[in-house]
Every structure is written in structure tokens, then in C-alpha cells.
Structure 1
Amino acid sequence: MNHPIWTVVAENLAEQLAASQGGILYPVQLLPFLPLSLTQVEGILEELSASDRVARQDVDSLRAYVFEDSLNKPPQHFAPQSCVYSNEPLEGPEFTAIRAEVRKTVENELSVMAEQEVWPAEAVWEHELVYLAQNLPSPVTTSEIAGHSRLPFKKVELRLEELNQKGALRFNPELNSWELPGLRYPKAAYDRHDRFIRQFPGAIREEFEVRLIKGLSASFAILLACLLLAVTAKLPFPILFFGGLIAAVLCFFKILKTPAKPLPEL
């Protein structure tokens, strides 16, 4: 039985990235190239580590994989001229290591998987927080990330700690800053991945929950204001109540249907 193309692409990309970095690869370094969750990336790397030539180890509190065959190679800038899967020339200077037709096949396979798996629910916030942590000016504090994220502050705190537990990034208490292994995540690559991941319902679950709470809170505030107005101004309560009810319903659905806001320019 043949492996899905997306797993082969991820394996080849991991091999070539590790070769350009003296044999050390961090799972989070694959996110700028593929719209995967960290769980998917780590699953691929764990399969590779079943062999004698790849081993998992922690490097400076970050999870890494050591590719024995590349340990003695001098580090160099990763700038592939050909697709990591098909070995055909890349189309242009865009930040990618995968040809368009290969990427399309990978995305088709991931789309089928998204119908039965929950990977988009993880991938959407992992990509967002990694993109922000990499592109915001140092020191990258939790408040700085939350100020640019589409998630509320408490969710950002929780998700950053999850990434910390996974060894995807680390917190430097001396600088009060989040740190990543070396990687580059351009806006064009992030936007492409974000658009793809967000087409699946699981990807916007948390954001929908936030909008639901905001909608209910705003609706309750409108009805409470109508009640206070009826008591203090002695206006007819039935008119205020039904008027407030209509306003609350309209406000609720307006907030609920508000599309996801794009990340601000950094």
C-alpha cells in the first residue's frame, strides 16, 4: 500500500531541512511549508525515529530530531531550487519547496482527512501563534502576541503553554519573551495556510465560541439596559422589552455572523 503523498512530502522536507541545519530539525520548522498540525508533523518524525538514523532529543528545552546522516554536514541556507517531492524545478521565487500541483494533491488528501479528524482545530491556532511569535519584534511577550491574535488573552496564554509543553517554543523568564528555533514564516505562506485550514468547521470552533459568548453578553446587556430604563425613566415596559428583544436578537446574529478578522500587518 502506497503512502499518502503528504507524508512523503513531509518526510522529504524534514530530511532536506535537517541536512541544511547540521542534522538538527525542530518539528515547528515544517509549519511554514505545509498546512499541518504539530501532531501530524510529530507523527511523521516519530515514524522516522523508529530507524537507527533518526533520534528524538531535546535541545535547549525544544523538541528536536537528529538525523545522523547529516550531522557532519556544514549548515547552509535552505533555498531549494527543485520540489522536495517531484524534484522538478520550482515555479518562482515564492517561499516554498513544493510545486503547485504537488501542493494541490497534498491539500486534497488533507481535506479528506479533515472530514474524520480534528487536525484543523489544532493547526489553525498553532500556525497563528507560531507566525506571530516569529514575526513580532523581540521581546515577544504573551501580551504582544495576544494583542495581535484572533484569540482572547486567556486562550492565548493556554495555547502558548501547550506549545511550550510540546517543546515547539520556550519561554525565557529573564526577557519575559517567547522564543522559537530558527525559522522564517512569511505572510504570504501564512495567509495561504490559514485560508486552507479555515475552510474546515473544526478550525473556527474556538473563534465561534468566543463570538457566541460575546453575542449572548451583548444581548443580555441590551435587555438589562431596557429594564433599567423602564424602571428609572418610567417608560412603558412592554414597548421597551419588545424593542430591546428585537435589538438583542439583531445584535446577537450580527456578532455571530461576523467573519474572522484578518491578522493585523506586522
Structure 2
Amino acid sequence: MTDTRTLVLIPARMAATRLPGKPLLDIGGLPMIVHVARRAKEAGLGRVAIATDTADIANAVAAHGFEAVMTSPDHPSGSDRIFEALCKLDPAGHVQTIVNVQGDLPTIPPGDISAAVRLLDEPAVDIATLATEIRKDEEHTAPSVVKLIGSPAGPGRLRALYFTRATAPYGDGPRYHHIGLYAYRRAALEAFVKLAPSTLELREKLEQLRALEAGMRIDAAIVDSVPLGVDTPADLETARRLLANN
């Protein structure tokens, strides 16, 4: 049985510049956003809803049995969008864990979503996320691959100390690729969206640094691989191949 105190939200907009109309692009006969919603539902964590500013997206997910909530088109980030959705769907404050699953991850393993949420069993953790060990040489130096620098905090988990696009940490040993899926305590999300963008956030162009600079604790579950993020026509074709038999 799913937990009524957990809400999984999937922000989805049509405004992607590199792949216009991305959430509704067809993968194996289904819109991409529906694949993501199915993965989130399979995680069995709680209520799943798509937060969108576009009626076409809302109608598409509703046609496949999923819930949509309309949000403002003016939000600067996905975090602001999911906070508005949370307030609309749960004004009484029953939900205590909010999971933000990006709408362009149609291959995200449901177990990885659950792994992030389990990190919140540790009371000191404000926000939970995912990371995987970098295994391709070129990814160590690629600015597009965000690195999570952290201290071991138990088996298969890191306490995040910093996030960067640079090659870090220095020296021998593993480096970790940050995967942008988040599970928030409600109080942490409420506090986060009230904060102004921080100095390091603006410099690195990484929103999660705002939370670290404000003193929040972020832990990451170490998972086996990075889910395919669909950002280009080539990514879309790869997703179609991977999901051809689903």
C-alpha cells in the first residue's frame, strides 16, 4: 500500500528549446511523460501527479489514468513548480515527503526512486538524491556531468559536501555523477523555495547548492547507472530502442 504522506510530483513543460514538445513525444505508442509517470507509480511510494502549465500535457496524462495539476507558467525552476503543486494538492499539510522526478527520465528505475526516499529515514537528512560512480574517462572532465563530492555516510550513501561541474575531487579514487532526482522533507522544500539564489548556485548554475549554502543536509544513494535524460533527437531514438519491448 502506498504512503499517503508521500507525494511524487513530475514537473513537465513544453518549452524545451532543443526538443520542442518533449513531454508528449511518442515512445512506443505512449507520450514520454506517461512512461515517467508509470515508473513513478511502480515505485509504490505514494500519490503520483504531473505538475504542468500546459493543458495538452494535463489532458494526455489524464487519458492514461494519471493525475495532473495545473501550475503557473512563470516559475523559475522545477522546485517552485512542485511547491505550488504540493500546496494545491495538499493544502492541509498531510504530505511530509515530496519526490521530484524529472519529466524527461522515461527509463528511471523505480527502485532508484525508492532508494532516494529511504535516505529520509535518517532524521538529520533534509533532502535526498542519487549519484552513480563515473566510469567513462571523458565524463570526469565534462562540465555537463555534475559531480557530487561527498563523505561516506553508510553503506551505499554519501553526505553531499558540494556539487560542481569541475573535475573533483582531486586525486585517486571514485568520482560520482549526480542524478537530478530529489526527495524533500516538506519543511525543507518550503524553506528552499523561500531562499534567494545563492552565490555558488549562480556561479555553478546548480540549484542544489542553494540548499547546501543554507545549511541543509543532502544525502545521496549510490545507484548503478544514470537514467537516460531525453534532451536531443538522438536521446529520443535511444529511449525508443530501450523501451521498445515495454
Q: Using structure 2 for the length normalisation, give the TM-score.
A: 0.29
For the pair shown, the structure with the greater C-alpha radius of gyration is 1
Higher helix share: 1
Larger RCO (CA within 8 A; separation ≥ 6): 2
Higher strand share: 2
